[in-house]
Amino acid sequence: MQSITSLSRFVARSTRAVTALALSAGLALGATGTAHAQGVPIVRDAEIEALVRDYARPILKAAGLANSNINIVLVNDPAFNAFVAGRRMFINTGALMTAETPNEIIGVIAHEAGHIAGGHQERLRDQLARAQTMAIVAALLGAGAMVAGAATDTSGLGAAGAGVVAGGSEMARRSLLGYQRSEEVTADRSAITYLNATGQSAQGMLKTFQRFQNALSLSGARVDPYQVSHPMPRERIANLETLARESPYFDKKDSEALQQRHDMMRVKIAAYTQGQAATSRLLRGTDGLASRYGDAQSTYLFGDLRSALSKTDALIKSQPKNAYFHELRGDILMKSNKPAAAAEAYTTAVKLDTAKSGILPIQLGQTYLAMGTPDALKKAVVEIRKGLDRDRENASGYRYLAQAYGMLGDVADADLATADGHYYSGAYQDAKIFAMRAQQKLKPGSPGWVRAQDIINYKAPSKKKK
Ligand SMILES: [Zn+2]
């Protein structure tokens, strides 16, 4: 995972206290720019993003949404939630952890695609599409607090949550209190169509919704926001079951390879967000490779680095072309203060990564940054820029880029990169300050100067509008 050095430390039981969370990727950065860590718990991970994108791609295509170029945003929240806004699909780690099979998540994605294709909540989606990713997540966590509080009691947390909402995210509140019953019926029917078109079962969707109907919460959180925004009366679920069973694919299972990737994702999330004990508990229910992967991750995070390295090398022996095993090798070597060896591992990971994640080149760039020689710093700039070309909104990537430029003595480009980092974190005032600083040193009309001007001219979407 990128830049999240010790995720587990920050995952408080009360995820609702947005300001108490300090998961921003900028934290790992040190000197150059943690002043505005937004406290937004976004998890960036090449492996999980690629997997969820693989889940979503055929469904979105079947829904006629193939050209929307959907970006996956993982939110570190134990509650169950998933939705799409603009070209971003937000999925809570809690939903991924809860789903025992890929089909369960694919079913939820199909249902969401049904809402989008049906034009439900369009105006709201437009508003969300214009906002920056981190601003949306912050707003949603606030809104989640409000909803959770309102559903369980009228004091304390609920009141605090309502304050957060009033302060900035009316739109998110309405999103959570979202869909009409008629829209649910439409989305269910569309979901079945997409699943049939892609030869997949609706069993996972049905199972998820049935569990929501029977239990208060799937994830153990107070109330899952997904449950609140998607009303699930008994007759709706009964109708869905009838439709699902009519499909010739009802009994079709996910492929073994996909199930294995799913299991590896779950053990990784567990290791990062729930600590060692929860990971070992989960490992007991997983197959050989996923279990060994979880063990290696857990050893890397909580145990002995030398042992983590030998476990990872054994994994690489089993699957030499798995980019993420090489990535883990790089993570371990970086933590062991061996940036040159880490660079080799990440270079292999970048080469093997068919999903072409921007995260891996940025991690490679960080190893060059750690080496610190002028030659290495130039390589850092090249790799980080390559990562940012693939992943334009990667706020922490800009901060590493700023650091590399700064160490090379290129103050103008360092200021511009810092401006971009603030911009993509949603800290527009700071972004403008650094953009103005950069402009003073950049040639008027040059691409950098023009980018700085764009940031200076940017108008944040109004929060007060209804
Ligand atoms: Zn729904």
CA of 68 to the centre of ligand 1 (A): 20
Position 462 scores a pLDDT of 59
CA of 187 to the centre of ligand 1 (A): 6
CA of 200 to the centre of ligand 1 (A): 19
For 218-241, write each residue's pLDDT tens digit: 777 767 778 877 888 888 999 999
CA of 357 to the centre of ligand 1 (A): 30
Specify the higher pLDDT residue, 430 or 78: 430
- Pairwise CA distance, residues 234 & 213, whole Å: 7
CA of 230 to the centre of ligand 1 (A): 4
CA of 426 to the centre of ligand 1 (A): 29
For 434-454, write each residue's pLDDT tens digit: 999 999 999 999 999 999 999
Position 9 scores a pLDDT of 26
Q: Which residue type occupies 360? A: L
CA of 424 to the centre of ligand 1 (A): 29
pLDDT band at residue 426, thresholds of 50, 70 and 90? confident
Q: CA dihedral in degrees (217, 221, 224, 228; nearest 10)?
A: 90
List residues bridging with 89 in a β-sheet. 72, 84
CA of 185 to the centre of ligand 1 (A): 8
CA of 213 to the centre of ligand 1 (A): 13
CA of 208 to the centre of ligand 1 (A): 12
CA of 328 to the centre of ligand 1 (A): 37
List residues bridging with 75 in a β-sheet. 42, 92
For 37-66, write each residue's pLDDT tens digit: 345 688 899 999 999 999 999 999 999 988
CA of 224 to the centre of ligand 1 (A): 13
CA of 113 to the centre of ligand 1 (A): 9
CA of 192 to the centre of ligand 1 (A): 13
- Pairwise CA distance, residues 420 & 435, whole Å: 8
CA of 197 to the centre of ligand 1 (A): 20
CA of 312 to the centre of ligand 1 (A): 41
pTM, two decimals, is 0.82
What are the backbone dihedrals phi and psi of residue 175, each rounded to the nearest 5 degrees, phi first? -65, -40
Contact (Cβ atoms closer than 8 angstroms) between residue 185 and residue 111:
no
- Pairwise CA distance, residues 426 & 438, whole Å: 19
CA of 229 to the centre of ligand 1 (A): 7
CA of 429 to the centre of ligand 1 (A): 37
**Termini Cα distance of the chain:** 37
Does residue 119 carry a pLDDT above 80?
yes
CA of 30 to the centre of ligand 1 (A): 42
Does residue 287 carry a pLDDT above 70?
no
Does residue 399 carry a pLDDT above 60?
yes
- Pairwise CA distance, residues 393 & 407, whole Å: 23
Mean pLDDT for the chain overall = 81
CA of 80 to the centre of ligand 1 (A): 13
CA of 392 to the centre of ligand 1 (A): 30
CA of 178 to the centre of ligand 1 (A): 8
Query: Mean pLDDT over residues 169-182, rounded?
Result: 58
Query: Mean pLDDT over residues 266-293, rounded?
Result: 84
CA of 294 to the centre of ligand 1 (A): 33
Structure tokens at 235: 């007759």
Contact (Cβ atoms closer than 8 angstroms) between residue 70 and residue 49:
no
Contact (Cβ atoms closer than 8 angstroms) between residue 370 and residue 379:
no
Closest CA to 88 of 49, 34, 45: 49
Query: Under 8 Å CB-to-CB from 68, ≥6 apart: which residues?
Result: 60, 87
CA of 29 to the centre of ligand 1 (A): 39
List residues bridging with 41 in a β-sheet. none
